[in-house]
């Protein structure tokens, strides 16, 4: 009987763990209204938002602002001063 109770408690506690964020950077880029909501919650230090979600929102905002980025290509002839 004790084993059943301990097993039940262990399963219940395991089910209470916070789930991993389901959003990805690309999904947040595609839905800027949802991104704005997560950023607002992160700014207010809301307990419902994990640090991983805040990092995803930050990366999505960077991707929206910067795009995929461009590589620096130096000029063929260096400038003369």
- Joined together, the tokens standing for residue 52 give 């991983």
Residue-wise pLDDT for 1-15, tens only, equals 777 766 676 666 666
Alpha-carbon distance 28 to 71, whole Å? 24
CA angle at 14 for the pair 13 and 17, rounded to the nearest 5°:
95
Residue among 56, 46, 45 nearest 20 (CA) = 56
User: 22 versus 63: which is more confidently predicted?
Assistant: 63
In the predicted structure, residue 48 carries a pLDDT above the cut 80: yes
């Amino acid at each position: 009987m004790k084993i059943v109770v301990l097993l039940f408690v262990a399963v219940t506690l395991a089910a209470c763990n916070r789930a991993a964020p389901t959003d990805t950077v690309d999904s947040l880029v595609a839905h800027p209204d949802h991104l704005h909501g997560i950023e607002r919650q992160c700014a207010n230090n809301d307990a419902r938002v994990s640090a991983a979600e805040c990092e995803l929102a930050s990366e999505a905002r960077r991707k929206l602002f910067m795009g995929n980025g461009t590589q620096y290509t130096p000029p063929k002839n260096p400038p003369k001063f």
